[in-house]
Amino acid sequence: MSWRFCDKCLKWIHSEHHEIDPRTRGVMCEFCDSWLRGHLTDDMYLDLVDYHRGKVPAPESHASGGEL
């Protein structure tokens, strides 16, 4: 299971709600049909929820590779 970020919904979408575009094989949001980006495992997502005390920000905010 994993999470990807939707720029239109402005939130992380769980893999239960991902759709694969048959032409491009891109990962799409089931709710708004936008492309999804970023990737977090369930454990990474839960760690970030704890760290941010709720809403996990967009991927670019934690892409530095530094400590959380």
Domain spans, the chain: 2-54
Residue 31 confidence (pLDDT): 98
Spatial contact of 1 and 46, defined as CB atoms under 8 Å apart: no
Averaged pLDDT in 10-residue chunks for the chain of 68 residues: 97 97 96 96 96 93 55
pTM of the model: 0.85
The sign of the dihedral angle between the CA atoms of 35, 38, 39, 42 is negative
Q: What share of the chain is helix, strand, coil (3-state, %, to 5)?
A: 25, 30, 40
Pair 41, 2: CB distance under 8 Å: yes
Q: Looking up tokens 């005390």, which residue turns up? A: 53
